[in-house]
Structure 1
């Protein structure tokens, strides 16, 4: 299974908001319904989730292709995780 990190992102300028616990450790909280396409952690999680769910090459190029689709102008106002996953899967070969 692919497990890419923030170092593998193609785009920059994402928010790096991180929630920390009282002991200073970082926690990552992902909403199962919505995706915040401006948060670095969420974009990485979403891209890895897509690679895991669909039978596409488990490569950095595929990871970045998902990221690119996520930032596509057609999806500018789309925030629902399942709809984003479905649209990217449907357009994987087309675009």
Structure 2
């Protein structure tokens, strides 16, 4: 499985900016724990990581399914990476 990128996202309303002092390598502990679901690189990173780590097909469709699940209204308040992973896993067969 290759890495999916911005061209593979379903939605195109993400911010391409990065909070000052934050980079895509998640060097800060808080940034490794939280997911900003409005920033392009964070959504791509989260979706790729989920597809790699969980027993789901390693396809573009799975990548996009993760994206759709994290945008569900029920997930709007979930920002912690571990909780968001659990939410996606619990809702995988509901979408």
TM-score (norm 1): 0.85
Paired residues, what number? 89
Give the gaps of 5 or more residues in structure 1.
20-26
Supply the RMSD in Å over aligned alpha carbons.
1.7
Asked if structure 1 preserves the Cα contact closer than 8 Å seen for 2:18 and 2:39, the reply is no
Asked if structure 2 preserves the Cα contact closer than 8 Å seen for 1:50 and 1:66, the reply is yes
Q: Which has the larger radius of gyration?
A: 1
Relative to its length, the structure with more strand (as a share) is: 1
TM-score (norm 2): 0.85
Relative to its length, the structure with more helix (as a share) is: 2
Aligned to 1:75: 75
Aligned to 2:46: 46
Give the gaps of 5 or more residues in structure 2.
none
